Chains A and B, each alone.
Chain A
Amino acid sequence: MNPVRRVAAFLFDFIVGDDPLMFSVVCVGLAATGIVAALGVASWWLLPMSVLVALVVSVLRVRSRAETAE
């Protein structure tokens, strides 16, 4: 692997990690928070809600895979 690819892989692992879906849900939640706040509506709850949904879905997906593998 060339050095550029190695750095890109390191950064991907550092920021996105093992579950790109969890990362995506958090990014969408953050963007939605900014958009709704710009419209003048209270949006502080959107990001924590996205984090909780992302975490629950991610853990349950791993559990489901583990049960299927057994």
Chain B
Amino acid sequence: MNRDALLFVAVFLACAVEGVEAVTIVLATGLTRGWRSTWIGVASALATLAVIVALLGPALTALPIGVLRLVVGGLLLVFGLQWLRKAILRAAGLKARHDEAALFADEVRAAQVAGRAAEGLDPYGFAVSFKGVLLEGLEVAFIVVTFGSNQHNVPLAVLAAGAAIVLVVIAGALARAPLSRVPENTLKFAVGVLLTAFGTFWAVEGAGAHWPAGDGAIVALILVYLLTSLLLVAVGRPRTVAVSV
């Protein structure tokens, strides 16, 4: 698998995960508070994200490649490592798993008790959908911009992100319920490994070192991080087992 194909897979999976979380918030808000204000919130957040990507993408690609790889690779590495750490802790039972159905129920409960405006735009519906899409979307924008600029292929990263978002939105629209059957924790595990591997690869190149196997080092990094993570899931489980009565 070449670097572009890996880039597509990494961005697609990362954006699908973030998309599922955003869809949960939007569905809970829209079904409870009405769709008009929710859609205005979603559209405003998407416009804000488009401006961020349009400004940051070209600005980053204008940087010298060494600086770009050092800074962006380093950021991608620490960001990916956080995802991977959380995924390992969840898989090992050291952290609660992400539960879209529970999140959906929480959002619906909060939306039901919030006050309503007499007429016009519903500030609660707007604010919750705007904030939800913007915050989840910022991670998507970060991944798109970092992968795209480092690989000098922002359009491919945007395409991968767009494909993931369209797929998740269609699934959410058809289900009209939280996408709790999406194996979100497993996807986050895979994305964490990919982001950490790409981040390491670019950061090392940016620091002035050279990989002995060239692009092949990315695959080697993915394998090493994956195996170590699986091992950590096995040894990370607490030795004392809680017994339910």
Residue positions of A touching B, CB distance < 8 A? 14-19, 22-23, 26-27, 30, 33-34, 36-38, 42-44, 46-48, 51-52, 54-56, 58-60, 62-63, 66-67, 70
Contact = CB atoms under 8 A, between A and B. Distances in A.
Interface stretch (B53-61, B103-111, B220-228): B220-228
B212 interface: yes
A59 B235 CA distance: 9
Nearest to A38: B208
Contacts of B209: 33-34, 36-37, 42-44, 46-47
Nearest to A51: B200
A26 B74 CA distance: 9
A37 B228 contact: no
Interface string B75-116: 101110110111011001011000000000000000000000
Nearest to B237: A63
Given A51-B225, A54-B81, A30 B236 contact: no
A34 B208 CA distance: 6
A66 B85 contact: no
Nearest to B212: A44
A15 B207 contact: no
A37 B69 CA distance: 15
Contact of A59 (B92, B225, B242): B92
Contacts of A19: 85
Contacts of A34: 70, 207-209
Interface of B: 70, 74-75, 77-79, 81-82, 84-86, 88-89, 92, 94-95, 138, 196, 200, 203-204, 207-212, 217, 221, 224-225, 228-229, 232, 235-240, 242
A43 B212 CA distance: 10
8 contacts: A34-B70, A37-B209, A38-B208, A47-B204, A55-B81, A55-B229, A59-B92, A63-B238
Contact of A48 (B70, B78, B221): B221
Tell me whether chain B's interface is mostly helix, strand or loop, or mixed. helix
Contacts of B235: 60
Contacts of B84: 55
B236 A60 contact: yes
A42 to B, nearest CB: 7
Given A23-B78, A48-B221, A51-B200, A63 B211 contact: no
A55 B236 contact: no
B94 A26 contact: no
Given A54-B81, A59-B92, A30 B74 contact: yes
A33 B89 contact: no
B238 A55 contact: no
Contacts of B81: 22, 26, 51, 54-55
Contacts of B79: 14-15
